[in-house]
Amino acid sequence: MKLVIQRSKYSQVTVDNKIVGKIDSGLVVLVGFTHTDTIEEIKKLTKKLVNLRIFDDENHIMNKSILDVGGSILSISQFTLYADCKKGNRPSYNKSMKADEANRLYQIFNDEIKKYNIKLETGIFQADMFVEISNDGPVTIILESEDL
Protein backbone atom coordinates (compact mmCIF):
# COMPACT_ATOMS: atom_id res chain seq x y z
CA MET A 1 0.00 0.00 0.00
CA LYS A 2 1.27 3.42 -0.88
CA LEU A 3 -0.02 6.82 0.28
CA VAL A 4 0.99 10.18 -1.16
CA ILE A 5 -0.12 12.74 1.41
CA GLN A 6 -0.34 16.44 0.67
CA ARG A 7 -1.22 19.11 3.18
CA SER A 8 -3.89 21.28 1.60
CA LYS A 9 -5.68 24.60 2.13
CA TYR A 10 -8.43 23.67 -0.35
CA SER A 11 -8.87 20.75 -2.72
CA GLN A 12 -11.62 19.13 -4.73
CA VAL A 13 -12.31 16.26 -7.09
CA THR A 14 -14.63 16.50 -10.09
CA VAL A 15 -16.20 13.69 -12.13
CA ASP A 16 -18.23 14.48 -15.26
CA ASN A 17 -18.10 18.21 -14.43
CA LYS A 18 -19.67 17.61 -11.00
CA ILE A 19 -17.77 18.15 -7.74
CA VAL A 20 -17.98 14.84 -5.87
CA GLY A 21 -15.65 15.71 -2.98
CA LYS A 22 -14.02 18.81 -1.57
CA ILE A 23 -12.23 19.91 1.57
CA ASP A 24 -10.91 23.07 3.10
CA SER A 25 -7.90 22.71 5.42
CA GLY A 26 -6.65 19.15 5.69
CA LEU A 27 -4.97 16.39 3.71
CA VAL A 28 -5.31 15.01 0.22
CA VAL A 29 -4.36 11.35 0.25
CA LEU A 30 -3.66 9.49 -2.99
CA VAL A 31 -4.04 5.77 -2.25
CA GLY A 32 -2.63 2.84 -4.22
CA PHE A 33 -2.69 -0.90 -3.53
CA THR A 34 -0.45 -3.75 -4.61
CA HIS A 35 -1.04 -7.52 -4.56
CA THR A 36 0.34 -8.23 -1.10
CA ASP A 37 -1.57 -5.56 0.85
CA THR A 38 -3.58 -6.60 3.89
CA ILE A 39 -6.18 -5.14 6.22
CA GLU A 40 -3.57 -5.08 9.00
CA GLU A 41 -1.35 -2.84 6.86
CA ILE A 42 -4.32 -0.55 6.18
CA LYS A 43 -4.90 -0.16 9.92
CA LYS A 44 -1.22 0.62 10.58
CA LEU A 45 -0.93 3.14 7.76
CA THR A 46 -4.20 4.82 8.69
CA LYS A 47 -3.05 5.22 12.28
CA LYS A 48 0.26 6.68 11.05
CA LEU A 49 -1.59 9.00 8.64
CA VAL A 50 -3.94 10.55 11.20
CA ASN A 51 -1.11 11.01 13.71
CA LEU A 52 1.47 12.54 11.34
CA ARG A 53 2.55 15.84 12.84
CA ILE A 54 2.68 17.93 9.67
CA PHE A 55 0.53 20.92 10.68
CA ASP A 56 1.99 24.03 12.27
CA ASP A 57 1.67 24.75 15.97
CA GLU A 58 1.54 28.27 17.43
CA ASN A 59 5.33 28.56 16.87
CA HIS A 60 5.04 27.67 13.16
CA ILE A 61 6.67 24.28 13.73
CA MET A 62 5.10 21.18 12.18
CA ASN A 63 4.02 19.63 15.44
CA LYS A 64 0.27 18.94 15.09
CA SER A 65 -1.66 16.13 13.45
CA ILE A 66 -4.89 16.32 11.51
CA LEU A 67 -6.59 15.11 14.69
CA ASP A 68 -5.14 18.11 16.55
CA VAL A 69 -6.23 20.69 13.97
CA GLY A 70 -9.63 19.21 13.13
CA GLY A 71 -8.92 19.04 9.41
CA SER A 72 -10.56 16.97 6.69
CA ILE A 73 -9.23 14.29 4.37
CA LEU A 74 -9.86 13.98 0.64
CA SER A 75 -9.12 10.35 -0.27
CA ILE A 76 -8.44 9.52 -3.93
CA SER A 77 -7.77 6.01 -5.25
CA GLN A 78 -4.83 5.99 -7.64
CA PHE A 79 -3.55 2.74 -9.12
CA THR A 80 -0.80 4.61 -10.97
CA LEU A 81 1.17 4.89 -7.72
CA TYR A 82 2.42 1.39 -8.54
CA ALA A 83 3.57 2.25 -12.06
CA ASP A 84 6.73 0.40 -13.04
CA CYS A 85 8.84 2.48 -15.42
CA LYS A 86 11.96 0.30 -15.55
CA LYS A 87 11.41 -0.93 -19.11
CA GLY A 88 10.78 1.47 -21.96
CA ASN A 89 8.71 4.61 -21.72
CA ARG A 90 5.24 3.15 -21.19
CA PRO A 91 4.60 2.34 -17.52
CA SER A 92 3.48 -1.14 -16.55
CA TYR A 93 0.77 -1.45 -13.91
CA ASN A 94 1.33 -5.14 -13.13
CA LYS A 95 2.22 -4.26 -9.54
CA SER A 96 -1.18 -2.59 -9.02
CA MET A 97 -3.85 -4.69 -7.36
CA LYS A 98 -6.77 -5.81 -9.56
CA ALA A 99 -9.70 -3.38 -9.44
CA ASP A 100 -12.25 -5.46 -7.49
CA GLU A 101 -9.88 -6.25 -4.63
CA ALA A 102 -8.36 -2.75 -4.67
CA ASN A 103 -11.83 -1.22 -4.39
CA ARG A 104 -12.62 -3.46 -1.40
CA LEU A 105 -9.41 -2.39 0.36
CA TYR A 106 -9.97 1.25 -0.58
CA GLN A 107 -13.39 1.16 1.11
CA ILE A 108 -11.82 -0.44 4.20
CA PHE A 109 -9.14 2.28 4.20
CA ASN A 110 -11.82 5.00 4.11
CA ASP A 111 -13.80 3.25 6.86
CA GLU A 112 -10.67 3.20 9.04
CA ILE A 113 -10.26 6.97 8.60
CA LYS A 114 -13.88 7.50 9.65
CA LYS A 115 -13.19 5.66 12.92
CA TYR A 116 -11.06 8.66 13.94
CA ASN A 117 -14.04 11.03 13.49
CA ILE A 118 -12.30 12.89 10.68
CA LYS A 119 -14.46 14.47 7.99
CA LEU A 120 -13.79 12.39 4.89
CA GLU A 121 -14.49 13.17 1.25
CA THR A 122 -13.61 10.84 -1.62
CA GLY A 123 -13.40 10.58 -5.34
CA ILE A 124 -15.13 7.79 -7.25
CA PHE A 125 -13.21 4.54 -7.64
CA GLN A 126 -12.15 3.89 -11.27
CA ALA A 127 -13.72 7.14 -12.50
CA ASP A 128 -11.90 9.61 -14.70
CA MET A 129 -11.32 12.26 -12.04
CA PHE A 130 -10.04 15.82 -12.18
CA VAL A 131 -8.30 16.48 -8.86
CA GLU A 132 -7.38 20.02 -7.82
CA ILE A 133 -4.91 20.15 -4.94
CA SER A 134 -3.71 23.31 -3.28
CA ASN A 135 -0.57 21.93 -1.68
CA ASP A 136 0.07 23.96 1.47
CA GLY A 137 3.74 24.48 2.26
CA PRO A 138 4.29 22.59 0.04
CA VAL A 139 4.17 19.52 2.26
CA THR A 140 4.16 16.10 0.58
CA ILE A 141 4.83 12.85 2.46
CA ILE A 142 4.97 9.33 1.01
CA LEU A 143 4.07 6.39 3.25
CA GLU A 144 4.42 2.77 2.17
CA SER A 145 3.33 -0.35 3.98
CA GLU A 146 6.78 -1.90 3.46
CA ASP A 147 8.26 0.92 5.56
CA LEU A 148 6.29 0.05 8.69
Q: Which of 85, 59, 75 is nearest to 26 (CA)?
A: 75
What pLDDT sits at residue 147?
83
> Average pLDDT by consecutive 10-residue portion of the chain (148 residues)?
98 98 97 97 97 97 98 97 95 95 98 98 97 97 91
Catalytic residues: 78-80
| CA dist list (Å): 110 to 16, 17, 43, 57, 77 | 23, 24, 10, 27, 10
Query: What's this model's pTM, rounded to 2 decimal places?
Result: 0.95
Query: What are the residue boundaries of the structural domains of the chain, listed by start?
Result: 2-143
Does the domain at residues 2-143 carry the CATH identifier 3.30.1950.10? Answer: no
What pLDDT sits at residue 146?
86
